[in-house]
Amino acid sequence: MSTLFEKTTINGLVLENRLVRSATWEGMCDDDGRPTPQLDSCYNDMALGKVGLIISGYTFVRPDGKQLPKKMGIHTDDFAVDMKRLTAAVHDAGGKICLQIVHAGGQTSSASAGRQPLAPSAVEVDQFPEKPAEMTLQDIDEIITAFAQAAGRAKEYGFDAVQLHGAHGYLINQFLSPLTNRRVDEYGGSIEKRCRFLMEIYRAVRKCVGNNYPVMVKLNGDDFLDGGLQEADAVYAAKLLDQSGIDAIEVSGGTPASGEKNPIRVKIKTAEQEAYNLGLAEHIKKEVSCPVMVVGGFRSLEVIEKVLGDGTADYISLARPLVREPDLARRWMDGDRSPARCISCNGCFKPGLKGEGIYCVVKKKEQEEK
């Protein structure tokens, strides 16, 4: 029976516990994507707080894959010193950090990308802010190369692993989804063909970093959209990755167009509302041999312990609770078993959009009122 506070290993990477910081945008980089000391401090706090593995905010592999402002980039060698400073901030505190790499595809905008967004198909759907341009085969090849180069930089700069972002409606997910992928060539149609872009990225990344470096993926178990990626196809993709040697799969669900079933749901107040992607993770877990992480509304230690004890998932991922309490893992380790104090309001993202970087606005208000 697995427990939260035990050592584990993922392809040689030793983790002190099974608690993972799931990637979220922090808004703590320069406009060009260069990480700042503010971001170093953010990750250092979580490492000191005993988070087993910190997955970075989603980091663009090319400028035309950027989405939100002050998002981190790994598209250039110019950030080497800053990236090494960031990983050192985590390692000096005893932590481990994985770089999540992404291209936003049709979910970015001309203003953010500096050009008409690219997507598998030129379709107008709710999750796209504007109609994108259909990617050519050359576009596909170049973006695959960009992912591989990004992973190579991550390894060089001291990141302990990389994670491909294949969820939440971003470019890899857009290829997997029949809603956004209407192609009639070798990258569209059957689920096997819709997986091709993902698998070619994975193989290119693996070739670049080698077999002894952890490569993970974040995958939607379901898009929760009419016509989008559904559970059976997600399981198919997970099995392909597993058979090809992926080191861990983090299971999520939803896109910005998925209504109440979007990736960052609000008003999680009871244990019954927690773990909202657990069923998806359970189905994938039954079909793969690699470790499975699950994200989605975890707030209480009792729920987490039950999931790990039942073997439904191998790691538990949190994002918003660690914005309010970067020392949550340490608090639980020290015997305070009360639930995470995050109220799932999503208010933490508002200061990020104002250029301040994310923080818990509820906590700040409480401190100001004392």
8 Å CB contact between 324 and 341: yes
Burial pattern 299-308, b for ≥16 Cβ within 10 A else e, equals: bbbebbbebb
Q: Torsion angle, CA of 130/135/140/141, rounded to 10 degrees? A: -130
> What is the spatial distance between Cα 172 and Cα 369, in angstroms, rounded to a whole number?
45
Q: What are phi and psi of 245, to 5 degrees?
A: 100, 15
Q: Rounded CA gap, 275 and 299, in Å?
A: 8
Could you tell me where the DSSP H helices lie in the chain?
37-48, 80-91, 110-113, 137-156, 171-176, 191-194, 196-209, 231-243, 278-285, 301-310, 320-324, 328-333, 349-353, 361-369
Give the CA-trace dihedral at 158, 55, 303, 274, to 10 degrees.
180
203 HSE (CA, 13 A, CB side): 10
**Side chain identity, residue 127:** Q
Q: What is the DSSP string of 112-142?
A: HHSSSPEESS----TT-SSPPEEPPHHHHHH
Give the residue numbers marked as catalytic. Answer: 170
Query: Measured between alpha carbons, how far is residue 83 from residues 34, 148, 279 in Å?
Result: 8, 17, 36
